Amino acid sequence: MKLLALDTSSEGCSAALWLDGHITGRFEVAPRGHTRLLMPMVRELLAEQGLTPSGLDALAFARGPGSFTGLRIATGVVQGLAWGLDIPVVPVSSLAAVALQAIDKHQLPEGACVAVAFDARMGEVYWGTFQCCDGLPVLLADERVCPPSAVSLPDVSADRWIGVGSGWAFAGDMPADVAETVAVVDDTLVPRACEVVRLAEQGYRQGEAVPAEQAQPVYIRDEVAWKKLPGRD
């Protein structure tokens, strides 16, 4: 299985290649550099493995939620490649990708839960809750956008909750029961293609691949944020 994944959903820009279970990747924090950096990353990854785009079986991308402009960049590149190569695309949740990163970084045990929050601007956060099952994040409730004061945790049996993502900068505005339940917070994590490609490989095996025209970003909301990420939206 040869799968290429892209992520430009935040200030990070990254690409990753899954080659029969081996992952190589590129990641750079570059709020203004996604368009400039993305394709050189792709070319480097393929060249390292002696591959050409025609050797790929599928593509993947972080579908959102995230920066509106960033999501459109990765979507456009993936759609163009997929159409040209006539291969399918696996869309992956940006929130799930960060949840997987948290599971690995913090060595979360089976059954532990992750609450992912991204700064959605306009006084809101993108919110998703996940449980660790066989080392992978399983979504517990629908992803949504809401004020920090309106976030909630699902009623599940879990010995440990961890909060991750930029939206946890607003932890002081979240309900007291959420703050009390979430014992550890890591607001440094951003989506990366290395986690996207792992989730995409699983999604491909589970039949989640779609044709190029169905590879669409997921904004969760339609309003354009008034407070823009520097150099992006």
Mean pLDDT, contiguous 10-residue spans, the chain (233 residues)? 97 97 96 93 96 97 96 97 98 98 97 97 96 98 97 93 97 95 95 98 98 95 48 44
Look-up of token digits 């956060």: 125
- In this predicted structure, what is the pLDDT of residue 222? 59
Asked if the domains 2-94+191-214 and 95-186 are classified in one and the same CATH topology, the answer is: yes
Q: Give me the DSSP letters along 111-166.
A: T-EEEEEEEEETTEEEEEEEEEETTEEEE-S--EEE-GGG--------S-EEEESG
- In this predicted structure, what is the pLDDT of residue 221? 75
Superfamily the domain 2-94+191-214 falls into: ATPase, nucleotide binding domain (3.30.420.40)
Q: What residue spans define the domains of the chain?
A: 2-94+191-214, 95-186
- In this predicted structure, what is the pLDDT of residue 224? 45
- In this predicted structure, what is the pLDDT of residue 61? 98
> For residue 59, what is the DSSP state?
E
